[in-house]
Amino acid sequence: MPITILAIESSCDDTSAAIIRDGKVLSNVVSSQEKHALWGGVVPEVASREHLRLIMPVVRKALDDAKVEIFELDAVGITRAPGLLGSLHVGVSFAKSVALALDIPLIDVNHMDAHIMANFIEDPVPDFPFLCLTVSGGHTQISLVRDFLDIEIVGSTIDDAAGEAFDKTGKVLGLDYPSGPMIDKLAQKGKNIYSFPEPNIPGFDFSFSGLKTSILYFLKKEMSQNPHFIKENINDLCASVQDRIVSILMNKLVKATHHFNIREVALAGGVAANSGLRNAMQEMQMKEGWNIYIPRIGFCTDNAAMIGQQAYIKFKAGLFADQSMEASARVG
C-alpha cells in the first residue's frame, strides 16, 4: 500500500504544506510573508499571526493540488525544531490536531536535517557517506551524512550565520530585507575589487561577525571621504562581499572533504539559492573531483516537501512522535 504523508513547515516566516506519497512530491505549497520587509527582518509575533491565518488554506491547497482527500493520509510530518518558537507552535498544534482527528501517526522533523534530505527529492541523489554544507538564514553547518538517520554536525557557526551576514551587510548598504537575493543580483554586475578579511577559525567551524564588522568600518571610512561611495560602488561592493562569504564557506568545505576523504558533496538551505555559491560548487567539482548535489531553488528555501521527505524516512523506520511532543526553538 502507498504511504501518503501531509507535511507542514512553519519554522520561520514561510507557511508551507506538501503531500508526499512513497517519497515522491505530489504538491508543495509555500506562502511567504512579505510584510516583514517593513521592519527589516522577521518579527516573531507577526510571523506567528500570519501562520495562524495561512495554515488552513495552504494545507487545503496542498491537498487539492495533489488530488488527495484528507482521509487518504497515513501520517502527518511537522517541523518540531529549530526555529521561531511561536511559529513552530502553530504548525505543531495544527499537525497534532490532524493526527488526532484522523488517528494517524505524528512524525516530528528536525528542520536542518530536512534541508539535507532535500537532496533526495529529485535525481540524482548522493551516495553515502557524503558531506553537506547547509546554509540558511540562521544556520551554517557542515554535516557528515552516513545514512538517512545518521547525521553528524562536524562544523557550525560560532556567531552569525552566512545568511545573517548577507542581510546585515545589506542593511548597512541600504538594501531592502531580505538582502541576500539583492546582493546576489547586484554582485553579478560588479567585480570583486575590495578585500575583506577571512577569519582564522580552527577546525570546520565558521565565523561571520568579524567580517560584518570589518565591512562596517570600511564603509564608514570611505563614506567620510565620499558620502556617495556606497551608491557609486554598490555593484562592486556586493560582488566583494558575496565572494568573501562564499570563499569562507568553500574553504571550510574543501578542508572537510580532505579530512574525511569524501568527494560526495551536497549543498542545502536557503542561501544555497545564491548564484555565487552554486557556481563555486561547480568550480570545485572540476578542481577537486567532487560529485556535487544541489537541490533546485524551490527545494533550497524553507518548504514542506523537504519536511515530507524526512518524515517519509522516519515513517519507514517506525519513528513516531506522540501528542506530548512540543516545539523547540533549538535542537535538543
Q: Tens of pLDDT along 135-176?
A: 987 899 999 999 999 999 999 999 989 999 999 999 999 998
DSSP run (H or E) holding 159: none
In this predicted structure, the answer to whether residue 284 has a pLDDT above a threshold of 70 is yes
pLDDT confidence of residue 42: 66
Are 103 and 176 in a shared domain?
no
Look at residue 329 and tell me if it is in a domain.
no
Same domain (yes/no): 237, 152: yes
Do residue 258 and residue 145 come from a single domain? yes
Q: Is the pLDDT of residue 37 over 60?
A: no
User: Is position 322 within any domain?
Assistant: no
Domain for residue 324, yes or no?
no
The pLDDT tens digits for 44-103 are 788 899 999 999 999 999 999 999 999 999 999 999 999 999 999 999 999 999 999 999
Give the pLDDT of residue 36.
45
As beta bridge partners, residue 291 has: 264
In this structure, are 289 and 305 located in the same domain? no
Mean pLDDT of 21-42: 77
Which structural domain, as residue segments, surrounds residue 209? 125-294
SS3 290: coil
Helix (H) or strand (E) holding 244: helix 229-260
Residue 291: the pLDDT is: 98
Residue 48 domain flag: yes
Whether residues 277 and 189 fall in one domain: yes
pLDDT at 77: 98
Given a cut of 70, is residue 232 above it in pLDDT? yes
Instruction: Tell me if the bond preceding 82 is cis, omega within 30° of 0.
Output: yes
Question: In angstroms, what CA-CA distances link 21 with 6, 16, 56?
Answer: 9, 17, 21
Are both 194 and 269 inside the same structural domain?
yes
129 and 106 housed in the same domain: no
Q: Which CATH number is 153's domain given?
A: 3.30.420.40
258 and 289 both lie in a single domain: yes
35 and 134: one domain?
no
Is 185 within the bounds of a domain? yes
Q: In this structure, is residue 326 part of a structural domain?
A: no
The stretch 6-29 carries a mean pLDDT of 96
